[in-house]
Amino acid sequence: MKKMALWSLALCVFSEPLWAGSLLFDTRVDYNSTTYNDDAGLPNFTKFYIKTGRLDYQGQLNENLVYRARIAFNKNPQPSVRDSTGAAVEYAYIQNKFSDMFSLSIGKNNTEIGGFEQATSGADIYLASESYNHSGPGGELAGRNLATGDVYYMTGLKGIFSFGEQKLYAVVTNAETDHTSNGTDFDQNYSLYNLTWLGNFVDKALAVRVNYGQLAGPSEDDMNTFVGAGLQWNSQPILITFDYLLTEFKEGATSDKDRLTSLILKFAYTGWENWIPRLEFTGSEEKREIGASETNKFHGIGGVIEYVPYKDSVFRYHAAVTNYTEEPETGGDKTKTEVIVGTRLLADFLK
């Protein structure tokens, strides 16, 4: 009898939250063949790998209190000093809705930095700008400015102000990495701040996204700045997105700056029953003043075809060819070509 009571209690405690939420399995598995030219100086390779792999649980205690935890099983789980989580923990937050106009999210969340490129799921990225990952055909860029991806999943507070079809996000979080004095003692004493406005117009066919963020550096008067402006036109069967992104690092001691700007343009046609073609372009310019004075330019182009066999689910096969070109101020052009073939599934364990 006692065992029956315990089983009943367990079912009540554990089953009800599961029924109230969702547990998503989000995975993209790719075959990737990458080739470089001689000036890039990097080896060619082929590999099968999990580009996206995560479990995403979302639930709610009541209509005003929701929570979310998303764990990426293809990222580093080593915890940081500043928030006790590793890169594997992408989301871990509690969001309280105080009114129709204001909600507060507490925990690890996205900072809303970047344009529509950064707001796109990583599982749907084929051609990434240099601002997204701070790398090019020659590898990691030399400038000290940060990528939008470096500061996207952060722990802190996010206020969400809603005004009809418009939202304003006010974010304050930790710095992007652990800062220590004497090599061991944690000494973070500054934060990242960001404001993002998102507006929807023309019956939500047109979306506008603008953000401005700042993050101080470890030395006095060092400053990282993030600026983004984007437009998205989504009127079936045409989807067009355009972003302008700027990331800048200013060295306080010299006032010298490393700056990276990117333009991203992407098209998709969704009018066919099972096929979605995509065409994507990026263009970036890196201007360096710290350590070296140089201007480097980057161009990217990608063609994608997606096959969606079941319209009522997020499951697809995809094939893409992307080409990146780096035009350094000195030396020959560097190129990187990727051939990608893979699949993506987003499904709920609880359904």
Please classify residue 190 by burial: count the beta carbons closer than 10 Å to its beta carbon, then call 0-12 exposed, 13-18 middle and 19+ buried.
middle
**37-62 tens-digit pLDDT:** 999 999 999 999 999 999 999 999 99
Residue 88 vs residues 33, 75, 98, 124, 205: alpha-carbon distances, Å = 26, 5, 30, 19, 34
User: Which pTM was predicted?
Assistant: 0.90
Question: What does the pLDDT average to over 244-250?
Answer: 97
At residue 1, does pLDDT exceed 50? no
Q: Are strands 65-72 and 257-269 parallel, antiparallel or unpaired?
A: unpaired
At residue 9, does pLDDT exceed 60? no
**283-305 tens-digit pLDDT:** 999 999 999 999 999 999 999 99
* pLDDT number for residue 4: 45
Measure the CA angle with vertex 20, ends 19 and 22; round to 5°: 80
Structural domains of the chain, with CATH? 29-348 (2.40.160.10)
Q: Pick the range with the lowest mean pLDDT from 60-69, 86-95, 215-224, 288-297.
A: 215-224
**131-172 tens-digit pLDDT:** 999 999 999 999 999 999 999 999 999 999 999 999 999 999
At residue 185, does pLDDT exceed 80? no
Q: Which residues contact residue 52 at a Cβ distance below 8 angstroms, ignoring those fewer than 6 apart?
A: 26, 27, 28, 72, 74, 121, 122, 123, 344
254: number of Cβ within 10 Å: 10
Contact, 168 vs 150, CB < 8 A?
Answer: no
Phi first, then psi: give them for residue 114, nearest 5 degrees.
Answer: 100, 180
d(CA 233, CA 265): 12
Measure the CA angle with vertex 32, ends 228 and 76; round to 5°: 65
Indicate the average pLDDT of the chain: 92
At residue 8, does pLDDT exceed 60? no
Closest C-alpha among 66, 224, 215 to residue 144: 224
At residue 11, does pLDDT exceed 60? no
Residue 252 vs residues 40, 97, 172, 219, 223: alpha-carbon distances, Å = 32, 40, 22, 7, 7
d(CA 251, CA 218): 10
Tell which wins on pLDDT, 8 or 148.
148
Structure tokens given for 234: 């989504």
* pLDDT number for residue 103: 98
